A and B are shown apart, each in its own frame.
Chain A
Amino acid sequence: MKFVPAIIAVFAFAACGNEAGSVGGGEIAKSLLTASTAKLKGAAPADLGLTREALEQVETPVLLATIDSRGQQALLGEVQQNQGVATWSTLDDVTVSFRNGVIVATRGLGNDLMASDGLAVSRQAGTKSRIYTHLDGEDKSVRRRFSCNVLPRGSEVIEIVEVSYTTLRVSENCSADGAVFQNDYWFSSDQKIRKSRQWISDDVGYLTVEDLRR
């Protein structure tokens, strides 16, 4: 058994080369270790140092997105429009696509939301259904229809980088086959979604999106 530490030492050595996608034993060992110590711990959101003054310098619309479970934050700019869907991208190539403020797809997050019907959010109480498509571990599409209870929560004041907005909060409690999530939307007086917290997938969890335009 004296060889075991030696072998681990060798495999901790990272692979190198110019071969694209070359994978070393070090990465394998690391992934097995993290797999057996369960989920990665979420860190506190990194402070992006956003100030209203800095934002004034930005001429294009900017969104701030936060992955709640991972504490990761990034700014997004709009890069493409296709059939009423706007795709926004971070600098490091994560994209989030919206139809009327509702997330219809993400890419670059791992277990992405492949597609969703993205029906508009109603501000009246009632029920509606939402369809979500994800990929399973064998890359098969899994399309689920969630039944959602729409619940207006009344007026709430939220602050986004030094600016306060009076908003109407609407919750959607959705469920299908044991999967449950709650999306929240905050509408500002111009009837636009100023902030939202929307479910992406089992592994990613929720994405909070704040509109930094004044």
Chain B
Amino acid sequence: MIKLKISTAVVALVAAGALATTAALTETRPTLNMYGATGLIDMPSAEMQPDGILSGTSSHFGPISRTTLTFQITPRISGSFRFQGIRDWNKVLCCDGVNQFETYYDRSFDLRYKILDEGRYLPAIAIGLQDFVGTGVIAGEYVVATKHVTPDVKVSAGLGWGRLGSFQSIGSPLGDRPELVIGKGGNFNFGQWFRGPAAPFAGVEWQINDQWTAKAEYSSDAYDEESRVRGTFDRRSPLNFGVEYQRNESLRVGAYYMSGSEFGIAAHFIMNPKKRAGGGIATSAPDPVDPRPSRGANPEAWSTTWLGQPEVQNTLRVRLTRRLEKDGVQVESVRFDGSTAYVRIRNLTVDAEAQAVGRTARALTKVAPASVEQFVIVPMVNGMPVSQVVLQRSDIEALEFDTQAGEKILARAQILSAPAVLNDGIRDPEAYPKFTWSLVPMGRLRVFDQNSPFKAGAGLELNGRYEVTPGLILSGSVSKFLFSNLDDRPPLPERGRLQPVRSANYFYDRDGDPAIETLALTYYRKLAPELYGRMSLGYLERMHGGLSTEVLWMPTARRWAIGAEVNYTAQRSPDQRLGFSLPVDMYETDLCTPDFATAACGARNSYRVVTGHVSGYYKFDNNFHAQVDIGRYLAGDVGATLSLKREFDNGWKVGAFVTKTNVSAEDFGSGSFDKGITVEVPFASLLGIPSTKTRTTVLRPFGRDGGQRLDVDGRLYETVRGYRADGLTEQWGRFWK
């Protein structure tokens, strides 16, 4: 009866929209629902967030809590990763298998695609898969349409399957839904999509003003398992109501009355990688360009007699060094050759290499004698020259205040591969050896174990870096927790036959306090104009140490690169001091007591392995980046990893990866194969101050042992790619800043 009334109301509203003489255009904000997807309250809508938006949602009603990370991958595609907990799970059904947990936690992935944009008469239409891979506890598929009926009111109506077709279904238009074979989870459930009973849902959203929104919906989700089977809450009605408040661009909160029985709340945190805090990077002003006097007016300034005097060249180097100090640019060497100045620089703080190059050019207009017409600026990274930027001084002088200065200087500059020579010109004797250190706060999270979604430790990390000569670096870091609950023992599920190369992380968290996180000697070398090499020796990461070698072929002016890596490593002791002997207890699981003598649970007192990969990298011109790694992983398994990232020019990167190896789903454990999401955030963009640092977060639904690579610092591709022409020009606007 209720259903009928609502449907009639929706039809009436839609009809009103279709017949309205003035077209209601999309003028409201696309809001998020309790699943963290764009939509109403529990139901989705056909809208999308603005391109690139990254949002985090925490929602709670009755026994159900959801934490969702959603990314607007392209203007039409969005994806979500979610962690859901349902309390009172074993209230009625107890107590083994899935019923052993008082709170049932599950991870899920969603994908949504917008088929049609809203038009004058036609609604926006989207199609979506919810929880489409894995155990499918909240799996559902839908087609939904959304139309504004007034500039402030929009109506959505759709048809759902799976969970979204569980209340008042209209039958199974596309056939029966086959039983889900879960196994260890992690598989795509193709056979189920859009099958089985379908049911309609609908809702209306009224944006009262810029801050306040009211929502009402008719839900097609019966919450069968949670309500009828397990009695975790009492679902009395398909109607949900809510009000939401937009605090500012980055925070939205909502309060709801759900299912005729429960109150709910939600908070949405919205980040736009395309925007910076405060609008721009606050750096001190650069040197104004100092134009040369004309040759006629000051012939002396144009004299070239200084060229023959090495002491003059050294004086010029010192003056340039001083001038660039405040810009965070270190001058490594200078050479003057006829009318050309060759300058090798190292960017210490600026998040955009283009800015370091631009400031060097400005400083050269102040320092270099008038007869120097050409600047060749080589930004160095770990002692390696990657590209050289060739600039004409007269262009710098002419374009300083041009409104198209960025485009014009790029058109006139040449960005070429730098020669592989080690030293070039007069070096700064104080540049090497160089010691830097820092004491910084550090935090470690362990997420998604079956007892608790979130465990954390926080403490301090002491980092040191000693650059002996260009390219030879001794670096290390030591950490100590001040507060931690990471030593609470999580459930330790069965591990199959693999060495616990990662899944023993609880023992590393528990025993490694303080821990030597890394201590390694690394040597970088440009081997040929397009070929780079790296060798690292020592405690390379918290769980493994040994030797890692790598070469990378990165042709200039291409979108691709190819690399190869071979490592010989041993697993470190969980106490993360200097040893490589493994204690017996780290092999422990809930069902197995390890023993070295009988090799129970696969226990052995040391573990060595040769791993290696051939990697291909490709940067698409739409800011997507793909990487394929094929080779042998830490547990000795063989396979391939595919990573896809959306990269923003200011350094934000959001991506996903999957690894398939020859490990069976049974040996791998929950999740069947390795996969996850990566989010890389540049500090400069977050803080609005210059910094070359970024922080990468990897979210894996299941941290297992198959498909795991050595986590060595400073792999070549990510080290040098920002210095190739395409990397240098990503933030080219900063040349003049």
Contacts and interface: CB of A to CB of B under 8 A. Distances in A.
A140 B348 CA distance: 22
Contacts of A15: 438-441
A111 B279 contact: yes
B224 interface: no
Contacts of B514: none
Contacts of A22: 438, 440, 693
A108 B283 contact: yes
A148 to B, nearest CB: 15
Contacts of B401: 82-83, 85, 97, 99, 104-105, 115, 118
A117 B731 contact: no
A82 B289 contact: yes
B577 interface: no
B19 interface: no
A138 B286 CA distance: 20
Contacts of A49: none
Interface stretch (B41-49, B181-189, B503-511, B682-690): B682-690
B590 interface: no
Nearest to A97: B401
Contacts of B278: 110-111, 203
Interface stretch (B101-109, B269-277, B522-530): B269-277
Interface in B347-403: 348-349, 352, 354, 397-398, 400-403
B731 A138 contact: yes
A6 B731 contact: no
A132 B419 CA distance: 39
Given A21-B690, A25-B441, A85-B400, A31 B277 contact: yes
Contact of B288 (A20, A26, A87, A92): A87
Interface string A86-122: 0101001111010100001101111110111110000
B234 interface: no
Contacts of A131: 403
Contacts of A19: 436-438, 463, 465
Contacts of A93: 284-285, 326
A94 to B, nearest CB: 6
B225 to A, nearest CB: 28
Interface stretch (B404-412, B492-500, B534-542): B404-412
Interface string B672-697: 00000000000101111111110000
A125 interface: no
A114 B733 contact: yes
Contacts of B251: 36
A53 interface: no
A54 to B, nearest CB: 25
A165 interface: no
B285 A95 contact: yes
A21 B285 contact: no
A109 B437 CA distance: 30
Interface residues of A, number: 68
B732 A139 contact: yes
Nearest to A16: B439
A177 interface: no
Contacts of A116: 403
A138 B649 contact: yes
Contacts of B483: 3, 6-7, 10
A17 interface: yes
Contacts of A110: 278-282, 688
Given A10-B482, A17-B436, A141 B406 contact: yes
Contact of A35 (B250, B400, B441, B456): B250
Given A7-B483, A25-B440, A79 B288 contact: yes
Contacts of A97: 288, 401
A97 B275 CA distance: 26
B650 A21 contact: no
Interface in A122-171: 131-133, 135-141, 143
Contacts of B650: 137-139
Given A6-B482, A21-B692, A11 B733 contact: no
A180 B250 CA distance: 25
A196 interface: no
Contacts of B687: 23, 27-28, 31
B639 interface: no
B733 A82 contact: no
A18 interface: yes
A3 B483 CA distance: 7
Contacts of A107: 285-286, 737
Contacts of B27: none
A80 interface: yes
Contacts of B272: 137
A17 B439 contact: yes
B403 A133 contact: yes
A13 B280 contact: no
Contacts of A66: none
A131 B406 CA distance: 15
Nearest to A140: B733
A117 B686 CA distance: 31
B398 A10 contact: no
A34 B289 CA distance: 35
B736 A16 contact: no
A21 B440 CA distance: 12
Contacts of A3: 456, 458, 483, 485
Contacts of A11: 441, 443, 458
B594 interface: no
Nearest to B271: A35
Given A31-B687, A82-B397, A16 B438 contact: yes
Contacts of B250: 35-36
Given A115-B403, A203-B279, A139 B731 contact: yes
Interface string B435-452: 111111101000000000
Interface in B238-297: 247-248, 250-251, 272-286, 288-291
B403 A108 contact: no
A201 B278 CA distance: 12
A204 B585 CA distance: 60
A94 B286 CA distance: 9
Given A16-B439, A118-B401, A139-B732, A23 B280 contact: no
B328 interface: yes
A115 B281 CA distance: 16
Closest 10 CB pairs of A and B: A17-B438, A203-B279, A21-B349, A111-B280, A107-B285, A111-B279, A80-B288, A93-B284, A108-B285, A139-B731
Interface of A: 3, 6-7, 10-11, 13, 15-28, 31-32, 34-36, 38, 79-83, 85, 87, 89, 92-95, 97, 99, 104-105, 107-112, 114-118, 131-133, 135-141, 143, 201-204
26 contacts: A6-B458, A13-B441, A15-B438, A15-B439, A17-B438, A19-B465, A20-B348, A22-B438, A22-B440, A25-B441, A27-B689, A31-B686, A34-B277, A35-B277, A82-B289, A83-B400, A93-B326, A99-B401, A108-B285, A111-B278, A115-B401, A131-B403, A137-B276, A141-B404, A203-B278, A203-B280
Given A15-B440, A97-B288, A114-B736, 16 more contacts: A11-B441, A13-B460, A18-B435, A18-B437, A20-B436, A21-B690, A23-B683, A25-B443, A36-B247, A80-B290, A99-B401, A108-B282, A133-B406, A137-B279, A139-B352, A139-B733
